[in-house]
Structure 1
Amino acid sequence: MPPSSLLESPLSRERRSGPMQRQLHDRLKNAILDGSLAPGSRLPGSRALAEALGISRNTVTATYEHLAAEGYVRPDRQGTRVAELSSPTPSKRERAGKQAGTPATAQRLARILPSAPRADMGAALRPGVPALSHFPLAAWRRSLERAIRGGGCTALGYGDALGEPALRAAIARHLSVARGVRCEPRQVVIAEGAQEAISLCVRLLSNPGETGWVEDPGYRGAKAAMHAGDMRIVPMRVDAEGLCVSERDWRKHPPRLVYTTPSHQYPAGSVLSIARRLELIAQARRHGAWIVEDDYDSEFRHTGEPIVAMQGLVDDAPVLYVGSFSKTMFPSLRLGFLVLPERLVSAVQAPLEEMLRGGHRHEQLAMADFIESGQFSRHLGRMRRLYRDRQQALRLALEKHFEVPHEIDGGHCGMHLTVRLPGRFDDRRIAAEALRQRIAPTPLSGFAMRPMPSDNGLVLGYGNTASELFAPLVTRLSQLARASEPGGV
Structure 2
Amino acid sequence: LYASVTVPQNALLLSYSTGGYGPLKRAIREFLARWRNIHCDTEQIIITDGTHNGIELCAVALADVGDTVAMESPCYWGARNVFTAAGLNIDMLPWQPDTGHTLPTASGPVTLAYLTGSHHYPLSVPTRAAHKQRLCEALAPRYVVEDDYEFNRDDHANLLFDTTSERHLLVGSFSKMMFPGLRLGYLVVPRHLAGPMNRLRSELFREGRMLDQAVLAQFIFDGDLDAWCRRIQRDYLGRQQVLHDQLCSLPQVRSVSPPSSAISLCVEFAPGVNDVAIAQALLKEHLIVRPLSPVCAASDPRVGLVMGVGMLSGETLAREAQRLRRRLEPLLRQGH
Contact 2:109 2:141 in 1 (8 A): no
Contact 2:275 2:303 in 1 (8 A): yes
2:161 and 2:144 map into 1 onto residues whose CA distance is 13
Q: SS where residue 286 of structure 2 aligns?
A: coil
Q: 1:297: which partner in 2?
A: 150
Q: Which runs of 5+ in 2 are unaligned?
A: none
Q: 2:315: which partner in 1?
A: 468
Contact 2:75 2:295 in 1 (8 A): yes
Answer yes or no: is 1:278 the counterpart of 2:133: yes
Q: 2:182: which partner in 1?
A: 333
Q: Closer, same or farther in 2 for the Cα pair 1:351/1:462, shift >3 Å?
A: closer
Identity %: 28
Contact 2:119 2:125 in 1 (8 A): yes
Q: CA deviation at 1:447?
A: 1.8
Q: 2:209: which partner in 1?
A: 360
Cα deviation code 1:80-135 (max 9, x no counterpart): xxxxxxxxxxxxxxxxxxxxxxxxxxxxxxxxxxxxxxxxxxxxxxxxxxxxxxxx
Match of 2:116 among 261, 267, 270: 261
CA RMSD after TM alignment: 2.6
Runs of 4+ in 1 over 4 A off after TM superposition: 150-154, 280-284, 311-314, 485-489
Match of 1:416 among 231, 252, 264: 264
Return the TM-score normalized by structure 2.
Answer: 0.89
2:289 and 2:298 map into 1 onto residues whose CA distance is 21
Q: How does 1:14-29 map to 2 (within 5 A)?
A: none
Q: How does 1:304-343 map to 2 (within 5 A)?
A: 305-308=154-157, 310=159, 312-313=161-162, 315-316=164-165, 318-343=167-192
Q: CA deviation at 1:412?
A: 3.3
Q: How does 1:24-423 map to 2 (within 5 A)?
A: 143-149=1-7, 155=13, 157-241=14-98, 244=101, 246=103, 248=104, 251-280=106-135, 282=137, 287=140, 289-299=142-152, 305-308=154-157, 310=159, 312-313=161-162, 315-316=164-165, 318-399=167-248, 402=250, 404-423=252-271
2:291 and 2:191 map into 1 onto residues whose CA distance is 39
User: Residue type matched to 1:345 in 2?
Assistant: A
2:280 and 2:9 map into 1 onto residues whose CA distance is 47
Q: CA deviation at 1:283?
A: 5.4
2:330 and 2:272 map into 1 onto residues whose CA distance is 11
User: Residue type matched to 1:456 in 2?
Assistant: V
1:281 and 1:452 map into 2 onto residues whose CA distance is 20
Q: Closer, same or farther in 2 for the Cα pair 1:357/1:280, shift >3 Å?
A: same
Q: CA deviation at 1:152?
A: 6.0
1:232 and 1:409 map into 2 onto residues whose CA distance is 30
Q: Closer, same or farther in 2 for the Cα pair 1:196/1:243, shift >3 Å?
A: farther
2:25 and 2:149 map into 1 onto residues whose CA distance is 19
2:86 and 2:334 map into 1 onto residues whose CA distance is 44
Q: Closer, same or farther in 2 for the Cα pair 1:486/1:417, shift >3 Å?
A: closer
Cα deviation code 1:192-212 (max 9, x no counterpart): 100100000000000111100
Contact 1:444 1:456 in 2 (8 A): yes
2:237 and 2:137 map into 1 onto residues whose CA distance is 35
Q: CA deviation at 1:423?
A: 3.2
Q: CA deviation at 1:389?
A: 1.3
1:383 and 1:280 map into 2 onto residues whose CA distance is 33
More strand by share: 2
Q: Closer, same or farther in 2 for the Cα pair 1:488/1:212, shift >3 Å?
A: closer
Return the TM-score normalized by structure 1.
Answer: 0.63
Q: 1:426: which partner in 2?
A: 274
Contact 2:146 2:161 in 1 (8 A): no
Contact 2:126 2:158 in 1 (8 A): no
1:325 and 1:479 map into 2 onto residues whose CA distance is 35
Q: CA deviation at 1:364?
A: 0.1
User: Residue type matched to 1:169 in 2?
Assistant: R
